[in-house]
Amino acid sequence: MQTAERGKVIQANQRWAKEKPKQRFPRLSLGTVFIIAFLIYWTITFLNQQQHLDRLNHELQNIEQEKQTWLQKEQSLEEYIEYLHTDEYIEKTAREKLGYIMPGEIPYITLEKESAE
């Protein structure tokens, strides 16, 4: 009887030896490898484009802010130019810088003390 049992054990060992060991990773076909490589390439490209787009949007915001600053300066200068064409400015400049007086006014001359330097 030992031989019968021994024969069963030998047969079991032979079957076990013939079985292929399990692979840790399944074999991938060439098409699957290309698909995975394409997806990795696409992901990297997408992320790079997203970073570039973010930089451009930040630059656009800075330019828009600068544009608003220049528009405000332009508006201020236009208002100043309009003021330069008013009678009020012309009269003020004539009085202060040229010493003109209106008809019927009496000019007063004030003496200012010079500061000692």
| Rounded Cα–Cα distance for residues 29 and 35 (Å) | 10
| Rounded Cα–Cα distance for residues 74 and 79 (Å) | 9
Q: What is the reported pLDDT for 55?
A: 98
Q: What is the reported pLDDT for 106?
A: 84
**Helix, strand, coil share of the chain (percent; to 5):** 70, 0, 30
> pLDDT tens digits for the chain (117 residues)?
566 676 666 666 666 655 555 667 677 788 999 999 999 999 999 999 999 999 999 999 999 999 999 999 999 999 999 999 999 999 999 988 888 888 888 877 778 776 554
* 14-20 contacts, C-beta under 8 A, 24 or more apart: none
**89 close to 83: Cβ distance less than 8 angstroms:** yes
- Using a 10 angstrom Cβ sphere, with 0-12 exposed, 13-18 middle and 19 or more buried, the burial of residue 95 is middle
DSSP string, 29-65: -HHHHHHHHHHHHHHHHHHHHHHHHHHHHHHHHHHHH
